Chains A and B, each alone.
Chain A
């Protein structure tokens, strides 16, 4: 079945640091790849998505490139702020069984200190 791997459980940074969160996926389909962000006390919300291989998604200073060759969809941001503290989930949406919704990675908790 489909799976998404995020190896980093927690990342601690200072403001203006570079953020990189690793995400790899496994699927037999041609999926849409997504990043969701969950702020404290809230449900996950879409940060960005990419539907086509080799394309890049950009939102609020975050970016991720759909790399079909390495089956990766890493998230990065050049300069984080304290307000970026949240849990970030990489997710996959299969096109052949889209009714079932998303397969999520375990999430990466990002803490940014001033």
Chain B
């Protein structure tokens, strides 16, 4: 089974702070995704990537940057964190064919105080 590892698992930062969430997948999947999960909103797509160096905008990108440095590594950057970004963040990966399963990491809980 595909392995998607997120770090850190928990993070507390102050308003205006700089945060980087990391994700690594070990199955050479082409596609990687960042979602946020909030009560009442379900899972919402922030950014995604086709491969190293590629970045695509998702449905809720404001306030977030992302970078895909290698096939394995996908980072989510919050350069001026705000309390509205307090959330549970999930990274996910998927192979290239249209019908393949999306595999999720265990999540990073971010609190902005």
Residue of B48, B92, B104, B105 with most partner-chain A CB within 10 A: B104
Within A74-114, the residues touching B (CB, 8 Å) are: 89, 93, 95, 98-102, 104-107
Cβ contacts under 8 Å, B105 to chain A: 43
Asked whether A71 is an interface residue with its Cβ less than 8 Å from the other chain, the reply is no
Which of B11-19, B65-73, B75-83, B94-102 binds A? Answer: B94-102
Q: Which residue of B lies closest to A96 (CB)?
A: B98
Total count of chain A residues near the partner, CB < 8 A:
21
For the complex, give the distance between the alpha carbons of A12 and B31 in Å: 36
Chain B facing A: main interface SS: strand
Asked whether A41 is an interface residue with its Cβ less than 8 Å from the other chain, the reply is yes
For the complex, give the distance between the alpha carbons of A58 and B92 in Å: 24
| Residue contact A102 to B41, C-beta cutoff 8 Å | no
| Residue contact A105 to B42, C-beta cutoff 8 Å | yes
Residue of B43, B94, B99, B106 with most partner-chain A CB within 10 A: B43
For the complex, give the distance between the alpha carbons of A100 and B31 in Å: 9
Asked whether A46 is an interface residue with its Cβ less than 8 Å from the other chain, the reply is yes
Asked whether B27 is an interface residue with its Cβ less than 8 Å from the other chain, the reply is no
Contact status of A101 and B104, CB under 8 A, knowing A89-B43, A93-B98: no
For the complex, give the distance between the alpha carbons of A51 and B107 in Å: 28
Cβ contacts under 8 Å, B101 to chain A: 46, 49
Residue of A43, A46, A95, A102 with most partner-chain B CB within 10 A: A43
Cβ contacts under 8 Å, B90 to chain A: 43-44
Contact status of A46 and B99, CB under 8 A, knowing A99-B31, A106-B40: no
Cβ contacts under 8 Å, A101 to chain B: 31, 33, 45, 48, 92, 94, 102
User: Contacts A93-B98, A107-B42 given; 15 further ones with Cβ under 8 A?
Assistant: A32-B99, A43-B90, A43-B105, A43-B106, A43-B107, A44-B43, A45-B104, A93-B99, A98-B99, A99-B50, A101-B45, A101-B92, A104-B42, A106-B40, A106-B42
Binding site for B on A (CB under 8 A): 32, 41-46, 49, 51, 89, 93, 95, 98-102, 104-107
